[in-house]
Amino acid sequence: MRSIARGLGLGSAAMALTALTALAWPGTAGAAPSGAQSLYAPSALVLTVTAGPDAATGTVLRAVTLACAPKPGGTHPSPAAACREVRAAGAKLDPLAAPASRAACTREWNPMTVTADGVWQGKRVQYSYTFGNPCGLRNTTGILFHF
């Protein structure tokens, strides 16, 4: 019974609505996972800044979380603005990472890599972008990678 209720509850939004109106969580041992009844596509990311050109092997200097559904949250310093930005960009992160045209940066090679991993509106995200040096990172067009 519990399995059936959950199976329905996890389906499409329409199915979940139906299931939720038709069924209550059986009062068995163990709390119902809070996310099981979500009616939105999940959006949750981990953003990192890594020293060097390779996110897989470099030292992770900083990492924050960003959740955008049902409401902005996480340890990112500006979650609401960051969520708005990713939404406006249709989850294409290159324009947000690219250094702004106004940025005046030197060209020494001291690479820094940013990454975004997780889920955006139910679709998996795996993104990385390498800056030639920290100046580019300090001058990204968006604020997503400003933490």
Sites of contact with a copy of itself (CB under 8 A): 2-3, 6-7, 10, 30, 33-36, 38, 41-46, 48-49, 51, 55-56, 59-67, 73-75, 77, 110, 117-119, 122-124, 133-135, 138, 146-147
Q: Cβ closer to a copy of itself: 33 or 95? A: 33
Nearest approach, Cβ of residue 89 and a copy of itself (Å): 19
Residues 6+ apart with CB under 8 A from 127: 93, 115, 116, 117
Q: Cβ closer to a copy of itself: 11 or 95? A: 11
Q: Which tokens belong to 75?
A: 């340890």
Q: Give which of 39, 29, 36 is closest to 5, Cα–Cα.
A: 36
Nearest approach, Cβ of residue 147 and a copy of itself (Å): 5
Nearest approach, Cβ of residue 139 and a copy of itself (Å): 8
Scanning the chain, the segments in alpha helix (DSSP H) are 2-9, 13-22, 79-88, 94-97, 134-138
Residues 6+ apart with CB under 8 A from 107: 132, 133
Q: Cβ closer to a copy of itself: 2 or 87? A: 2
**Which 3 state secondary structure label does DSSP give 14?**
helix
Q: CA angle, corner 117, sides to 13 and 79, nearest 5?
A: 75
Nearest approach, Cβ of residue 68 and a copy of itself (Å): 10
Q: Cβ closer to a copy of itself: 43 or 141? A: 43
